[in-house]
Amino acid sequence: MVAPRLLPLLCALLLPGPVLAAGEPVKAALFPVELLEPGVVVARPLRPDETRRLGLATEELRRQIDANGALAPVDLAPQAAQIRKDAPLYKCEGCAERIAREAGAAVAVYGYVQRNTNQVLNVTITITDTASGKVLRGGQAVISGDTDETWRHGVRWVVKNRLLAEPLPDRS
């Protein structure tokens, strides 16, 4: 028979990995939400409404992360030039993690809104480990309607139901 005091240890060993202790926020680099338009061959400047909505989506992501408390955002202002140079981060193959690591973050949080049509968009947000590049959590939401509120709602849904619905796994 297993001693009662060993039972929690054995249970912990059976879990896929230890979770971060509650109350210990992880330092996170929160990057601006970007726009992906797969049908556009030549890059074009963003329209004012797209720039505004990307800003709203980024603010909503930050607000949701702050409200949850599992992640502690780091200041990315010193890395602003590098972020602009390496953008778009969703396809730069490791640059988001490198920039985040240089800023002192343990995880990188980045995302994009993919415009499929004028009225159907996908919001995708990913959390990766800065040391390994391993995806810790990710989520996507399809939103119908190209309005300020649908963009914010898509971000809220992904954060609530995919990114931070459960504690983040240990990054080991």
Please, what are the domains in the chain? 25-163 (3.40.50.10610)
One-letter amino acid at 50 equals: E
Give the span between the Cα atoms of 125 and 146, in whole angstroms. 18
Per-residue pLDDT tens, the chain, 172 aa: give them. 434 433 333 333 232 332 344 568 999 999 999 999 887 777 788 999 999 999 999 999 999 999 999 999 999 999 999 999 999 998 899 999 999 999 999 999 999 999 988 889 999 999 999 999 999 999 999 999 999 999 999 999 999 999 998 887 765 5
Confidence (pTM)? 0.83
